[in-house]
């Protein structure tokens, strides 16, 4: 726990189990009355009659660090009272029920931290180059696209097909 007014942003990619307590402890501060927390877990799901048994994560690590820095800069511009931001994300195999991502934000009051944590999670999914592959009980696998990504298929404008009138 930090006792003074300094600010910190911590980003960690890990192939090991994520410690919620480590993330919470990283943002603790005597000047803050709130720690907002998000834990994203791998859920059991059924896709096309196949049961998801886990996720496999990969990342472009240097670019992920750079994008996290941009997200933190944006958070501080929008919510200047946010004191600390800590985000840990798993890489490699994550079975159903385990944490894939843990985010904690400390702030003097809960409102700013809660808004900021929602923003961090949305921006993480939209801009940080971390990819996930669903693995099914059939041993088949499928790469998944985050709906928040600007390049997601559902976000693409309809293709233009010239007609004879346009030519």
| Binding-site annotation: residue ranges for substrate | 109-110, 125, 132-134
Q: Which residues contact 69 (CB under 8 A, 6 or more apart)?
A: 9, 11
Q: Which residues contact 139 (CB under 8 A, 6 or more apart)?
A: none
* Measured torsion, CA atoms of residues 115, 27, 123, 54, in degrees rounded to the nearest 10: -110
List the binding residues. 109-110, 125, 132-134
- Closest among 42, 45, 47 to 132, alpha carbons compared: 42
CA distance 32 to 81: 9
């Amino acid at each position: 726990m930090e006792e003074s007014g300094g600010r910190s942003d911590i980003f960690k990619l890990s192939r090991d189990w994520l410690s919620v307590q480590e993330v919470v402890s990283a943002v603790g501060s005597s000047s803050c009355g709130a720690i907002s927390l998000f834990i994203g877990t791998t859920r059991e799901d059924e896709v096309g009659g196949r049961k998801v048994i886990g996720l496999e994560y990969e990342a472009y690590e240097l670019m992920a660090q750079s994008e996290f820095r941009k997200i933190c800069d944006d958070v501080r511009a929008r919510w200047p009272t946010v004191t600390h931001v800590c985000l840990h994300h798993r890489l490699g195999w994550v079975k159903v029920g385990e944490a894939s991502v843990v985010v904690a934000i400390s702030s003097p009051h809960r409102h700013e931290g809660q808004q900021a944590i929602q923003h961090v999670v949305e921006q993480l999914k939209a801009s940080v180059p971390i990819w996930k592959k669903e693995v099914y009980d059939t041993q088949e696998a499928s790469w998944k696209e985050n709906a928040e990504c600007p390049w997601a298929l559902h976000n693409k404008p309809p293709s233009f097909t010239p007609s004879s009138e346009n030519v």
